[in-house]
A and B are shown apart, each in its own frame.
Chain A
Amino acid sequence: MAMTNNEPLLEVKDLHKSFGQREILKGINFKVHKGEVICIIGKSGSGKSTMIRCVNFLETLTSGAICYQGKNVLDEFKELSLYRTKVGMVFQSFNLFNNMTVLDNCTVGQTKVLRKGKEEAQQNALKYLQHVGMANYINAKPHQLSGGQKQRVAIARALALEPEILLMDEPTSALDSEMVGEVLQIMRQLAAEGMTMLIVTHEMAFARDVASQVIFVDEGIIAEMNPPEIVFKAPENERTAEFLARFNNGR
């Protein structure tokens, strides 16, 4: 496991989020250090996805702050663009750009946002596409790929910007069980290479094996945040135990 500096890479401070009258997140606090893999688990509707979407401001925060390398993002980054290139995002439904080929999907961010040259962007994109085993498909359009292939390209697209941290919002939930394996494999590989990741997931085995910390979200608060050994063997919060018991029975 990578060393933990004193300064966290990312810090979420007293995050609240309401949609109209309904408060979804009721004061979320946690820190992510470089090299950590944090898995966020919890029931559907508990606010996990909203939480991770708030981290890169796909949702506007009702109150609270996101700090990146000790700086409040909304104060210090004039444009969110730059911050967002540091914080990669992988979606449940892939969201590959349908009008572009696999290669263009992975270069467009580099050329438009980071203003890299086309040649450099393509080399870089190829490197990451190769990393996820999709380098042979650079000419394909998203609709020609399987779900697992799409998600691997989506991961390469995020990596191509060379982010400091990768956010993943249920990256395997839209896949059938055969394809889940190929995507989880990539995620394990990234974790082994020391990529910092914040992953919302229902894959308990993955969380148990790969996570350095597991966050259990329940009704808009973090009910428990502990290393996986504790969460899965001897959870401190009884709601965590209940959730895991139900989850295991459901399987």
Chain B
Amino acid sequence: METMPTGFLSWVIFLLDKYWVLFLKGAGVTLLLALVGTFIGCIIGLVVGVIQTIPVNKNDTLLKRHSIGLVKWLLSAYVEIFRGTPMIVQAMVVYYGSMSMFNIDMSAMFAGFLVVSINTGAYMAESVRGGIISVDDGQREAAVAIGMTHFQAMFAVILPQALRNIMPQIGNNLIINIKDTSVLNVISVTELYFSSKSAAGVYYRYFEVFFITCVIYFVMTFTASRLLRIWEKKMDGPSDYQLVEGDPMQDPCGYFQHGTVGGKDNGND
């Protein structure tokens, strides 16, 4: 019979020593679920957000207008339903429902990925839509005015700016997902919360175990938040620029300064 630790700190050390693999595995699963879920969710959100902002002209054919209308209606139904119900309930419905209704025996892990992704997708769809709306309409007008189609303007001009604007939202979603994947313990996905519960049950040391769990969650979310901040900075690019000096097509008129230009010598290229 081993000697039991006394005091809070010695329990923490004892439990860490005994269950560190369990904690680590749990944290790994949590992180995997959050990262994959957020990534796929972002893609879903991007697609939904882009479709929802397709403009409809009254000159378009009736068929086109109605089919776009129907798709938009379905997508907003998706967004409203998955934003409007708790993820813990969605997990139960998807996991057990797929079995009893469609006879699909998906693993708990797969159900986990699915639920986190479509849930994040619903939130991201609104973020993307907001990001697209927030880009000045002049950007779209300028793109269209040089002959771009709606989709060219969207992918070359508007989305890159919208994405930059919603980076903080993506970060938010990642952090929420790291924490909220804990609800997947109801379908026995062995993420961090589930692992912690197993570890806690052995010695009935709930406080000590969940203190450790708390610290692990915080380390993960804080790291994610800092990394995203760095990524944002990187997206912004350098804050200064290099003047091109002596470039291959040397400027024949020199600089234009305060409107004093000799606008000669340029009809011959």
Contact = CB atoms under 8 A, between A and B. Distances in A.
B253 interface: yes
A98 B144 contact: no
A135 B259 contact: no
B148 A81 contact: yes
Given A108-B156, A136-B251, A193-B267, A181 B259 contact: yes
A136 B243 contact: yes
Interface in A46-66: 56, 58, 60
Contact of A178 (B146, B157, B259, B267): B259
B249 interface: yes
Given A82-B147, A89-B145, A192-B263, A139 B244 contact: yes
A157 B241 contact: no
B133 to A, nearest CB: 16
Contact of B258 (A93, A136, A181): A181
Contact of B251 (A96, A133, A140): A133
A65 to B, nearest CB: 14
Nearest to A86: B147
B247 A136 contact: yes
B266 A95 contact: no
Contacts of B136: 95
A182 B255 CA distance: 10
B242 interface: yes
Contact of A131 (B139, B241, B245, B266): B266
B256 interface: yes
Interface in A17-40: none
A88 B152 CA distance: 18
B148 to A, nearest CB: 6
Nearest to A149: B256
A91 interface: yes
A161 interface: yes
Given A81-B148, A89-B142, A181-B259, A112 B249 contact: no
Given A91-B138, A97-B139, A56 B145 contact: yes
Contacts of B139: 95, 97-98
Given A99-B161, A112-B152, A141-B237, A178 B57 contact: no
B98 interface: no
Given A95-B141, A182-B261, A185-B261, A136 B244 contact: yes
B143 interface: yes
Contacts, number: 132
A85 B147 contact: yes
Contacts of B258: 178, 181-182
A127 B249 contact: yes
B146 A182 contact: no
Interface in A200-251: none
Interface in B128-176: 136, 138-139, 141-149, 152, 156-157, 160-161, 164
A138 B152 CA distance: 22
B269 interface: yes
A16 B249 CA distance: 46
A131 B257 CA distance: 14
A44 interface: no
A53 to B, nearest CB: 8
Nearest to B140: A95
Contacts of A79: 149
Interface string A112-138: 111000000001001100111101111
Contacts of B254: 133
A144 B258 CA distance: 18
Contacts of B141: 58, 91, 95
Given A136-B247, A185-B256, A97 B143 contact: yes
Contacts of A56: 145
Contacts of B164: 99
B146 A157 contact: yes
Given A91-B142, A138-B244, A97 B157 contact: yes
Interface of B: 57, 59, 136, 138-139, 141-149, 152, 156-157, 160-161, 164, 237, 240-245, 247-249, 251-261, 263, 266-267, 269
Task: Enumerate the 3 nearest inter-chain pairs by beta-carbon distance, A residue then B residue, closest first.
Answer: A181-B259, A95-B142, A109-B146
Given A81-B147, A135-B249, 14 more contacts: A84-B147, A93-B138, A97-B157, A113-B146, A133-B255, A135-B247, A137-B243, A138-B247, A139-B244, A141-B237, A144-B240, A182-B256, A182-B257, A189-B261
14 contacts: A58-B141, A89-B142, A112-B148, A112-B156, A113-B146, A114-B147, A123-B249, A136-B247, A138-B247, A139-B242, A157-B146, A161-B146, A178-B259, A181-B259
